[in-house]
Amino acid sequence: MAKVSVILTSYNHAKFLRESIDSVLKQTYPDFELIIADDASTDNSWEIIKSYSDPRITSYRNVTNQRGFKSEAFPQATLGEYIAIHHSDDVWEADKLEKQVAYLDENPEVAAVFTHAAIIDEDGNPFRNEDHPYYRVFDQPNRSRYEWLRYFFYHGNGLCHPSILIRKEYIDVYESFHGIIQLPDFESWIRLCLRSEIYVIPEKLVRFRVRDNEGNTSGNRQDTRIRIQFELLQLLNFYRSISTVELLVRIFPEAVKYINDQHPDVLFALGMLAVEKGSNQV
């Protein structure tokens, strides 16, 4: 069994798919398998996938579109020690896995390692729109898991999904997205940081593609903006699993002003923080 299982999710990206697959096969780290999961593409993605005869590749195709990665399709027993998620329109640098595997090997207390990302356009050129939400969103400093949870609460996602390498024992953070379609990776990061530390390698080891006409799943369109706002409210429910005042204050030091003899409970303080957050966004 390979030490690293790379799961590449594919859907209607025939234009970019071969470059995406090849960027995995050209990794300098050798001990990996590539599992390609095609989500019932209607273009010729499946034909491109089946044209590969590399023994490191295993491919699956959904009968109907399931809208994304579901870990239950890949039993843990069949996966390697570390799992990487890749997307069919993005590209990895050749030394991505080598650097990430080395970090996880040396830091057993860390559940997952991410990287920075270079943003590219439809044609693979450097993305030049400095006003676009994706332009700098992944240029994040490292934070403790408590600091990340606070960041997520107030600012939203800042981690690049196709950059992740995660330990197999934490893959269950993907198991259920609770109806989340626009922000499933964001849900996973909240669940992950509620359990363990993560690390971001401050190198751009992924090229993240921003599609023309906001063609990404999370593109800046009216339909996605509406759904994202709805899903963000749902994601706040994960903070309800914070069960102690001590943990709450580690994540939100400002919550101490809502903890007193009259209101000693965590949920009251969380509610007040949410109200405060909403007021500041009006």
Closest CA to 187 of 108, 142, 137, 241: 241
β-strands 82-87, 4-10: how paired? parallel
Could you read off the pLDDT of 126-151 as tens digits, one per residue?
Answer: 999 999 988 899 999 999 999 999 99
- Determine the pLDDT at residue 263: 59
Closest CA to 269 of 280, 251, 281, 256: 256
Which CATH entry fits the domain spanning 4-218: 3.90.550.10, 3.40.47.10, 3.40.50.300, 3.40.50.261? 3.90.550.10
Domain boundaries, the chain: 4-218, 242-281
Neighbours of 210 (CB within 10 A): 20
Q: What sign results for the dihedral spanned by CA atoms 133, 90, 67, 186?
A: negative
- Mean pLDDT in order along the chain per 10 residues (282 residues): 95 97 99 95 97 96 77 69 96 99 99 98 94 91 97 90 96 63 68 96 98 58 50 68 90 90 77 74 39
Structural Rg of the chain based on CA atoms: 19
Whole-model pTM? Answer: 0.87
